[in-house]
Amino acid sequence: MNLIQLKNASILFGQPPLIDGADLNIQTQERVCILGRNGSGKSTLLQVLSGEIKIDDGQRIVAGETVISRLPQDPPEHTNTRIFDYVAEGLGENADLITAYHAQADLVATDYSEKALLKLQDLQEQLDANNAWQLEQRIENVLTQLQLPANKLLSDLSGGWRRKAALARALVSQPDVLLLDEPTNHLDIDMVKWLEKTLISFTGTLVFISHDRSFIRNLATRIIDIDRGQVTSYPVTYDKYLEQKAHDLEVEATHQKEFDKKLAKEEVWIRQGIKARRTRNEGRVRTLKALREEFSARRKVLGTAVIQGGTGQRSGKRVFELNQVSFGYDSQMLLANLDLLIARGDKLALIGPNGCGKSSLIKLLLGDIEPVSGDIHRGVNLDIAYFDQHRSQLDLDKPLIDAIADGKREVTVNGAPRHVISYLQDYLFSPERVNAPVSTLSGGERNRLMLAKLMLKPSNLLILDEPTNDLDVETLELLESLIVEYSGTVLLVSHDREFIDNVVTSSLVFEGQGKVTEFVGGYSDAEAWYKQSAKSKVQAKPTVEKTQKVAKPIENKATQKKVNTLSYQQRRDLESLPKQIEKLESELGGLQLQVNDADFFQQASSITQPVLDQLQACESALELAFEQWEELEELKNNE
């Protein structure tokens, strides 16, 4: 049965149309995921389905008494509203009466008076008259189901729990169609998995927007794709959709190539002169005019962002080293006697629920806060690029061009000058938008702008705190490639399970009560170990079978080192090595210029091979000298 229908529906936010002549049916008990690039109109389509936005053309048809509820993209703001009152707002006209009764009942229970009791009786009579008792019970049931404390204030909740309260508000009306806009934003992994189970058991119809690929795979039974105003239904799983979408784009590219070839041929013909305009050729002229109009109306596929990380000088071999570090607030212990060694080139994910200490560990590493006990050693030559999940580095009142270049018109990308407009186009910002305020950007566009700003800074340590929120899948996959190819060290905080699995070499799992365990691999590897451990009911390391590889916790690398003091000869080496490194770098630069010359490889091998051998020997000597200097410098710092 069709619950919501769109027929030839269009939304005109300027030109071209955001939604152009869409036909769409939403049926009973299906779980539909809406996909598309940032700014393609996904949230707008969701609001069209809910009736909050009126279509400019076409029809929207809703069956019978269909109840529709929408969960907005952002969690509720910090307010002094109680959770019970906020959830009750989802019931509409009886919300005020129910919240007044609930508040008065609490007042009578804590501060009994005859006046308060009379007011409570009056509210009871109004509830009876409006037959609203069942609605009050419905609120209680939803709060119990989602384990939400009725009298707690929204301002006391974390972002994830406020998101949970917003879901309760959407569910309390018992909707036939539940619309969710990026429901996994601000949720930790455990809460995302809980949400998956909750939504799978939902008996109504679900329409949601998400870029969390694991979430989509586990939930969606159909994909709705929005591309250049066109809304296309793919009644398949997410992986099948990816295959079919890629095929559709290939077919489209082939057709456009044939069309362009025909248009070019007709353009050559029309320029042959007056013969083309004779009466007998008027039909061909009209055809050419139609071809030109069709070409002008064509909407090109949105390109893929180009993300280039600025490479800084090499850091020391040991980036961070923690010895018996403890940290916490009041009675809550976040880190207990943590030993940790982060080496150059490590790509480390911090995994755990909101409030477990992930951000605190990053602040400890950066020196923003001090540990309660223990020592933290920071390596040498650290150039840090920090992606803040709150995007606090972006000034919302500035235009895009100034947010990136601070009033300049050129930026330096990997040592070469680039015009800022050209650089912004790499991140899919058109020249027409560069003077728009940052505040007008969507969440995904702000994240792209934040990445563009971050990647201008040469770095060897990349700290990414929830970088994936609101990013479309294409940009997400590009960011994955950047992290994999990044030559420096990466610390990643993310609740996107697939993203973690694709980019990290090891993971720190925050288990609570200050316990932190390190695993080789990503989230799936750690999860497999915990499942195996729980299944065997043995606290020791699980047996690893040849047919199934299960990750195991890493023994602390920090405890494996030996702390020494510098000898007399080592001190002399430490003093002489910088000059030696400088000399080798100069020699290497000269050899690289020689090899990069356009005519170099046109010479005989008897000339080129000795130069190449010398280049390789110089690179090896520089690497050895640099590592020796790092080790001696760290020994000196540990004295």
Q: Is 282 inside a domain boundary?
A: yes
Same domain, 113 and 158: yes
Do 483 and 343 belong to one domain?
yes
Q: What is the DSSP string of 466-517?
A: STTTT--HHHHHHHHHHHHH--SEEEEE---HHHHHHH-SEEEEEEETTEEE
pLDDT at 80: 79
Confidence band (pLDDT; 50, 70, 90) for 297?
low
Tell me the two tokens of residue 177: 């169609």
For residue 308, name the pLDDT band (cuts at 50, 70, 90).
low
DSSP 166-213: HHHHHHTT--SEEEEESTTTT--HHHHHHHHHHHHT--SEEEEE---H
Structure tokens at 216: 């989509």
Question: Tokens 């308060």 — which residue?
Answer: 116
Phi/psi of residue 323, nearest 5 degrees:
-120, 110
Q: Which residues of 605-620 are buried (b: 16+ CB within 10 A; e: fewer)?
A: eeeeeeeeeebeebee
Q: Is 242 exposed, middle or buried (0-12, 13-18, 19+ CB in 10 A)?
A: middle
Q: What is the pLDDT of residue 636?
A: 75
The residue with greater pLDDT, 162 or 517, is 517
Query: Does residue 312 lie within any of the structural domains?
Result: no
Task: Tell me whether residue 376 is exposed, middle or buried, using C-beta atoms within 10 angstroms of its C-beta: 0 to 12, 13 to 18, 19 or more.
Answer: middle
Q: Is the same domain home to 347 and 211?
A: no
pLDDT category, 25, cuts 50, 70, 90? very high
Indicate the average pLDDT of the chain: 80
Output the CA torsion 443→444→447→448 (10° steps).
Answer: -140
Nearest Cα to 460, choosing from 380, 391, 348?
380
Q: Is residue 15 part of a domain?
A: no
- Burial pattern 205-214, b for ≥16 Cβ within 10 A else e, equals bbbbbbbbbb
- Minimum mean pLDDT among 22-36, 462-476, 529-543: which range? 529-543
Mean pLDDT of 82-94: 81
Parent domain of 476:
318-383+458-560
Containing 61, the helix (H) or strand (E) segment is: strand 57-62
Q: How many domains are contained in the chain? A: 4
Name the token pair of 252: 């489209």
Residues 109 and 211 in one domain: yes
Residue 180 lies in a domain: yes
Please indicate, yes or no, whether residues 326 and 475 belong to a single structural domain of this protein: yes
Single-letter amino acid code for the residue at 84: F
Alpha carbons 372 and 374: distance in angstroms, whole number: 7
Name the DSSP letter for residue 401.
H
Q: Hunting for tokens 């750690």 — which residue is that?
A: 526
Token digits for 45?
A: 């389509």
* 496 lies in the same domain as 634: no
pTM over 0.85: no
- 365 with 510, same domain: the answer is yes
Stretch 543-550: mean pLDDT, rounded?
A: 45
Within 8 A by CB and 6+ apart from 284, the residues are 266, 269, 276
- pLDDT computed for residue 205 by the predictor: 95
Please name which of 450, 521, 438 lies closest in space to residue 479, comparing C-alpha atoms.
450
Given a cut of 60, is residue 635 above it in pLDDT?
A: yes
**CATH for 177:** 3.40.50.300
Other C-beta atoms closer than 10 Å to the C-beta of 179 total 27
Considering the domain boundaries, does residue 508 fall inside one?
A: yes
| Across 287-299, average pLDDT | 67
Does residue 174 surpass a pLDDT of 80? yes
Q: Are residues 322 and 251 in the same domain?
A: no
Domain co-membership, 221 together with 130: yes
Question: 69 near 90, Cβ under 8 Å?
Answer: yes
Q: Is pLDDT larger for residue 529 or for residue 542?
A: 529
Is the pLDDT at 125 greater than 50? The verdict is yes
Q: How far is CA 170 from the centre of its chain?
A: 24
Say whether pLDDT at 82 is over 50. Answer: yes
Quote the CA–CA distance of 431 and 412 in Å, as a whole number. 19
Choose among 408, 399, 406: nearest CA to 434.
399
Length of the chain: 639
CA–CA separation, 368 and 520 (whole Å): 28
Report whether 425 contacts 452 (CB < 8 A): no
Residue with tokens 């019931």: 91
Residue 136 domain flag: yes
Task: Output b/e per residue, 580-599; b: 16+ Cβ within 10 A.
Answer: bbeebeeebeebeeeeeeee
Q: What number is the average pLDDT over the span 383-399?
A: 76
516-540: buried (b, 16+ CB within 10 Å) or exposed (e) per residue?
A: bbbbebbbebbbbbbebbeeeeeee
| CA–centroid distance for 284 within its chain | 51
DSSP letters, 589-606, are HHHHHHHHSTTGGGS-HH
What distance in Å separates the CA atoms of residue 146 and residue 127, rounded to the nearest whole number? Answer: 25
Which amino acid, residue 127? L
Residue 152 falls inside a structural domain: yes
Strand pairing of 222-227 and 410-413?
Answer: unpaired
Q: Judge whether 471 and 416 are in contact, CB under 8 Å.
A: no
Q: Is residue 66 assigned to a domain?
A: yes
Beta bridge partners of 232: 225
Can the peptide bond before residue 16 be classed as cis, meaning omega within 30 degrees of 0? Answer: yes
Whether residues 359 and 492 fall in one domain:
yes
Amino acid 383: pLDDT? 85
Q: Band of the pLDDT at 130, cuts 50, 70, 90?
A: low
pLDDT band at 639 (very low <50, low <70, confident <90, very high): low
pLDDT given for residue 422 in this prediction: 84
Q: Enumerate long-range contacts of 567-576, CB under 8 Å, 24 or more apart.
A: 570/632, 570/635, 573/628, 573/632, 574/629, 574/632, 574/633, 574/636
Query: What integer is the mean pLDDT of 480-490?
Result: 84
Q: Is the domain of 291 the same as that of 330?
A: no
pLDDT, tens only, 239-251: 999 999 988 888 8
Is there a single domain that holds both residue 174 and residue 154? yes
